[in-house]
Structure 1
Amino acid sequence: MTTTNLPDPSHDPDWESPAAVTLGKKVIETDPARGYIRASFFAGDNFVNRGGRIYGGFLSAMLDGLCGHAVRLTHDAPGTPQVTLELKTSFVGRADKGTLIGEGFVRHRGRSIAFAEAELRNEQGDLVARGSATFKIGK
């Protein structure tokens, strides 16, 4: 086994996971004091289901990423571990290929548990999906 002394990229506040990169995530705005993020995602041809709409699993992943990023913004120490314990997704509108704009908010934050919510809208501002998540913070 080879080890290196390279820094862990997750300690960089601007670092995005490979999953977020795959989803085409681009951060637009953050407010750590509020636990808030606004970001865009790009859903191309490889994101659609048989009906030609964005596959729900991709929308859920985007919502999970927004909720998780919002929680990550509230950590005192960069690189604090967190994991999603529960994710609920409600599909409320038509999700076509293209750019989606999402917002994530921390609704409550304790020492070891956080609750967050997120929404995704199409470029016209129509609500496409809404999610809520519970996170375990720390080891």
Structure 2
Amino acid sequence: MDTNAVVDQAALRRMERAAKDTFWDYLGCQIESLDTEKAVVSFDIQPHHLNLIGILHGGVHASVIDSTMGLIVMLARPESSVVTINLNMNYVAPTKQGKVLVTANIIHSTRKLITAEAYARQETGELLAFGTGTFRVLDKAIPEKQDKGDSRG
């Protein structure tokens, strides 16, 4: 993973710990590159990503696009938590196999709302889906996730 020096490394480590054993982890998402301007996430299509007609499920697109936008938004506000309040999706082309790259960036930001856009493409560059999301900025930070072996309770 490439990260720009501007990225808050403590916030990034907090997010990586929070993602362990979550839906993000189940989907097989990997951060390819990350800085304050752009996030790139990838995953390799697996059988559990497919729908009943054998193509990548639209819900996988939506989840990874939402999560990639959320990642760049969380970096913009590391002292807060953010939640998706609106997600708009457009599905352009089907795919069955290979690696998918999702790129996200922020397009508008106010004190309490941030809007981002993201594009899902095959490694060849073919556009598969794109979306926009609006995120509400909450006044509390991402909670620290305790390790399963942690006895602090």
TM-score for both structures, normalised by structure 2: 0.76
For residues 41-73 of structure 1, the C-alpha deviation after alignment (integer angstroms, 9 at most, x for no partner) is 122011111211011111100110011111011
8 Å contact from structure 1 (residues 113, 136) kept in 2: yes
Equivalent residue for 2:6? Answer: none
Judging by fraction of residues, say which structure has more helix. Answer: 2
SS class of match (1:69) = helix
- The 10-residue stretch of structure 1 (89-98 or 128-137) with the greater mean CA deviation from structure 2: 89-98
TM-aligned CA distance change 1:52 to 1:66, over 3 Å: same
CA shift in 2, pair 1:16/1:54, >3 Å: farther
TM-score normalized with structure 1 length: 0.84
**Matched residue type, 1:19:** F
Give the one of 32, 41, 52 matched to 2:43: 41
Segments of 5+ residues of structure 1 without an aligned counterpart are: 1-8
Tell me which stretches of 4 or more aligned residues in structure 1 moved more than 2 Å. Answer: 13-17
Identity of aligned residues (%): 24
Q: Distance in 1 between matches of 2:43 and 2:57?
A: 14
RMSD (CA atoms): 1.8
Residue 113 of structure 2 is aligned to residue 113 of structure 1:
yes
- Which of 20, 23, 28 aligns to 1:24? It is 28
Counterpart residue number, 2:56: 54
Q: What secondary structure does 1:73 align onto?
A: helix
Distance 2:65 2:48 in 1: 18
How many residue pairs match? The answer is: 127
- Work out the CA distance in 2 between the residues paired with 1:109 and 1:133: 12
* One-letter identity of the residue aligned with 1:67: M
Amino acid at match of 2:30: K
Match of 2:149 in 1: none
Out of 53, 63, 66, the residue aligned to residue 64 of structure 1 is 66
Gaps of 5+ in 2: 1-10, 140-153
Deviation at 1:116, TM superposition (A): 0.3
- Are the counterparts in 2 of residues 47 and 97 from structure 1 also a CA contact under 8 Å? no
Please give the alpha-carbon distance, in whole angstroms, between the structure 2 residues aligned to 1:130 and 1:16: 25
Give the whole-Å Cα distance in 1 for the aligned partners of 2:97 and 2:39.
22
The residue number in structure 2 matching 1:14 is 16
In 1, the alpha carbon distance for the partners of 2:32 and 2:40 equals: 5
